[in-house]
Amino acid sequence: MARPLANRVPVAVAAYEALALRRRAGTTDPHPPSSFGRPDPAADRGGAPISSNLLLEAERVRHVNLELHMHLKTPAHYAEYGSLLENDYSNPMRDGLVDKNRRLGRALGTLEGEGDALRKEAAATVVPPPHDDGEGRRTITPMLTSTSTSTSTMIMEISEINKR
């Protein structure tokens, strides 16, 4: 039997496959719809204690899957549910993440270009050693070989910081 939703709703798919096998064999469901035989998670650990929160969460997930199974009784319903999940959640989420990844890639490329330009401007800038301004403070006087305003502004800001 093909498993079209095997990775999307594994517990519901397993329940559906068990139901389909019983129907093909001509037997009726021996269990009421609200109870499926589930292994005890603590049994796998050799009786290790398990917190009540984990047990409650496992029971909640089991009830959600049982409710899903009660609503999706035929293969067509399962297929429709899978396509709804894909169209309403998976595809928009994937498209959003791909778009975000592209925008981040473009932003990273722009930042790398600006960083290269700033490195070139900094290499063209000559900064003399700090000197005393007559009031006991050491300052840096900007001396540029380039006429770039942004670099001179940056050096003036450094000079202002040194004055404080």
Q: Distance from first CA to last CA of the chain, Å, rounded?
A: 77
Mean pLDDT of 129-141: 64
Please enumerate in sequence order all residues whose Cβ is within 8 A of that of 72, keeping only pairs 6 or more positions apart, or say none: 12, 16, 78, 81
CB 95 within 8 A of CB 103: no
Percent of the chain scoring above 70 in pLDDT = 52
pLDDT interval class at 1 (50, 70, 90) = very low
**Is pLDDT of 5 > 60?**
no
How high is the pLDDT of residue 103? 92
CA 26 to chain centre: 46
pLDDT digits (tens, 9 = 90+) for 43-95: 555 555 566 677 788 888 888 888 877 777 777 777 888 888 888 888 888 99
β-sheet bridge partners, residue 144: 125
